[in-house]
Amino acid sequence: MVLQYIKPTCLTCKMLPNMRAVAIISKPQKPELHRIILEVIDWLRARDYRIYLDNETGAYLSGYESTPRERIAERDLDFIVLFGGDGTLLSAARAVACKQVPIIAVNLGSLGFLTEVPLSELYPTLEEAHRGQCPIEARGMLRCELLRDGETVAQFDALNDAIVTKSAIARLASFDVYVGDNFVSNYLADGVIVATPTGSTAYSLAAGGPILTPSVDAFIITPVCPHSLTHRPLVVKDTSKVEIICRSDERGAFLSIDGQIGMPLQIDDRVVCSKSPYQVKLLRMRKTFFDVLRTKLKWGQR
């Protein structure tokens, strides 16, 4: 059960059934968040919001209840305030995508393609969200199923990517790749990435893949250090099913989701990637995707 978070000294707060609700999700080990979170809680209370904290946020405070991040979406939330980098957002997105709760992502990381709101713009952005005037951008997700002996043994939804890769001590791994019923190729490589447009600026970009604008309805198939120089990234419609068959034994390959969770693969395992029924909704500043690219990638700067 997710509990209601009331500061012990606040004995006169009125918790009415029609009150709006906000959750706060945070990156751990950021001492500066103690002060920032308390100030945000005061701001939200002044506007009669119920407030819920994940365990990482609760660790910064005393006297507040908290709950595991994966259960935050059990509450009927108006939006989420997230403090962290893109990794924190990826984790939160998988936890709340099923309810499509809008997220204000405040950047505390180093790069932050997704967490674009700087601390200096936190309260203007909160005010716009409170008034229902903050732009919302929906980002598509990837559904990844792991099939073993014809049975689904695991299923994940990813905002960035699903990656099949060699294990740390393995040589080149072998993967067969299909798009729909069409055989594409056998890849001898360090790995194969299937990325969403959002994930096009993540590992796929580092591996030589293209940048896609978030509105493009496509997936990117990007080989990682392929043995053949003619194996290049491939863009396909997101209505396609991309299937990767592992031809390496259980010591040779691993499935990774958003670079955060995963499991080892066995020979002949099938990783099937398709469009997820869920989307992640980001409450944004009024910047374009190209504004973000210019800022983050230092385009046009000498």
| Domain range list for the chain | 20-135+284-297, 142-277
Does the pLDDT of residue 1 top 60, yes or no?
Answer: no
Between 162 and 119, name the one with better pLDDT.
162
Spell out the residues 6+ positions from residue 271 whose beta carbon is closer than 8 angstroms to its own: 144, 145, 146, 147, 162, 164, 243, 244, 245, 246, 255, 265
> Which is catalytic among the residues 54, 86, 258, 269?
86
Percent of the chain residues topping a pLDDT of 70:
91
Active-site residue 86, yes or no?
A: yes
User: Mean pLDDT score of the chain, rounded to an integer?
Assistant: 89
Question: Which class in CATH covers the domain with range 20-135+284-297?
Answer: alpha beta
CA angle 110, 114, 115 (to 5 degrees): 60
Spell out the residues 6+ positions from residue 84 whose beta carbon is closer than 8 angstroms to its own: 25, 26, 27, 30, 105, 106, 108, 109, 115
What is the predicted pLDDT for the residue at 291?
85
CA–centroid distance for 200 within its chain = 13
Percent of the chain residues topping a pLDDT of 90:
71
Instruction: Tell me which fold the domain 142-277 belongs to.
Output: Tumour Suppressor Smad4 (2.60.200)
Mean pLDDT of 165-185: 89
On whether the CB atoms of residues 89 and 82 are closer than 8 A, the answer is yes
Does the pLDDT of residue 13 top 60, yes or no?
Answer: no
List pLDDT tens digits, range 60-119. 998 888 999 999 989 999 999 999 999 999 999 999 999 999 999 999 866 678 888 889
What is the predicted pLDDT for the residue at 160?
97
Give the tokens for residue 293: 């690219």
Query: Beta partners for 171?
Result: none
